[in-house]
Amino acid sequence: MAESQKKGDTKAQEPKKNKKRTTWVIAIIIGFLAMLVIAQFVKIFLDRQEKIELEEQYKEEQRELATAMQELSDIRTELDEKIVTIEELGGNIDSLVLAKKEVEQLLSNTRTANRRTINSLRGKVDGFQELLEQKDKEIVRLKAINEQLFSENTDLKTEKNELSRAITELNKSKSELEGKIEIASELRAEGVRITAVSSRGRERESPFRARQVNQLKVVFNIAENEVAPIEAKDIMIRIMDPQNNVIFDVTKGSGTFMLDGREEFFTAKQEILFDNSQQELTFLYNKGTDYEAGSYRVEIYTDEYLMGSGEFVIR
């Protein structure tokens, strides 16, 4: 009888155990579903935050682009004014005309904003502003010269012109001889070598890819010339892009020089003492932005004449 009672107690406990097990299973399922819901809400929240940040970044880039474009528009207006002023004062406006052309190209071609485009535009704006500052000084100088010339006595001008003509006639034959000597004394660049230097310092021969060009390296020797005097020289290089435009950036040392009676841009310059030792010169130029694909030309100048040239190709 005791055994029957024991079996009856066991059967009575089994439903309780099953009910308890079912309760735990339901609790686990509910907990799991709750975690899924929470995880989904967290993901939605993070995605929304990322979208908001991207939208803010885009708006900021648009604002910066609009500011840069407005500055370029103001620079174009100021360039127009300075072109008129300097032309009236008898100065050279070639560099201003070229700068205005590039500004107009930037205004017409720039439509989208990204950090790289904005940084490039900012560098251009700074360069143009520095050019305008240089031209402000030139305007002051030209005005002073014009005021001085205006105040001179007419008789003194006539006497000066007559004296100049007399000197010109006396020196005509001498100038012709000096011209021949000058041509003979012109320096020549030989063995021009152009390589691309990567960010790791590795050099490659042309052709090379734009991403491989961290710096452009131009190396050449100045040929021996017994007629040329030992003296200081400004050696300039011009990097011409596939559209035959000079690559320049005033903030990186670019500037202007006179060539065939016109003011032209140069990309980089070195001041040396020519000692007729076939000295080797090296130019390293960091453009700051990628080179577009095409054929490029490097021209080497001094004293308003071409010393030599070389070419390279960007694939």
Q: Which CATH number characterizes residue 274's domain?
A: 2.60.40
Task: Note whether residue 172 is domain-resident.
Answer: no
- Which domain-ending residue is among 114, 139, 155? 155
Instruction: Compute CA distances 109 → 124, 200, 246, whole Å.
Output: 14, 33, 18
Pairing of strands 294-302, 280-285: unpaired
**Mean of the per-residue pLDDT values for the chain?**
82
Structure tokens at 109: 């071609």
> In terms of domains, do 30 and 111 share one?
yes
- Which domain-ending residue is among 115, 140, 155? 155
Read off the pLDDT of residues 6-63 as tens digits, 9 standing for 90 and up. Answer: 555 555 566 666 677 778 878 888 877 878 778 777 777 676 777 666 666 656 666 7
> In terms of domains, do 100 and 201 share one?
no
> In terms of domains, do 59 and 202 share one?
no
- Using CA atoms, how far apart are residues 128 and 123, in angstroms rounded to an integer? 9
3 state SS of 104: helix
Task: Note whether residue 269 is domain-resident.
Answer: yes
Half-sphere exposure of 1 (CA within 13 A, CB side): 0
> In terms of domains, do 151 and 211 share one?
no
Task: Note whether residue 148 is domain-resident.
Answer: yes
Task: Note whether residue 298 is domain-resident.
Answer: yes
Q: Comparing C-alpha atoms, which of 290, 154, 108 is closest to residue 214?
A: 290
Percent of the chain past pLDDT 90, that is, above it, reads: 36
Q: Residue range 100-107: average pLDDT?
A: 77
pLDDT at 110: 65
> In terms of domains, do 215 and 286 share one?
yes
Cβ neighbours around 138 below 10 Å, total:
18
> In terms of domains, do 112 and 261 share one?
no
> In terms of domains, do 24 and 73 share one?
yes
pLDDT at 84: 86
pLDDT at 45: 67
- Segment holding 85, helix H or strand E: helix 2-88
> In terms of domains, do 13 and 114 share one?
yes
Q: Residue range 288-315: average pLDDT?
A: 94
> In terms of domains, do 190 and 149 share one?
no
> In terms of domains, do 256 and 114 share one?
no
- The number of domains in the chain is 2
Contacts (Cβ under 8 Å, ≥6 apart) of 126: 250, 251
> In terms of domains, do 262 and 144 share one?
no
Read off the pLDDT of residues 197-225 as tens digits, 9 standing for 90 and up. Answer: 998 889 999 999 998 999 999 999 999 99
Q: Which domain holds residue 291?
A: 186-314
> In terms of domains, do 148 and 193 share one?
no
Question: The sheet that has 203-205: what strands, in order across it?
Answer: 203-205, 189-197, 215-222, 280-285
- Segment holding 34, helix H or strand E: helix 2-88
Task: Note whether residue 34 is domain-resident.
Answer: yes
| pLDDT greater than 90 at residue 189 | yes
pLDDT at 55: 64
pLDDT at 86: 83
Task: Note whether residue 181 is domain-resident.
Answer: no
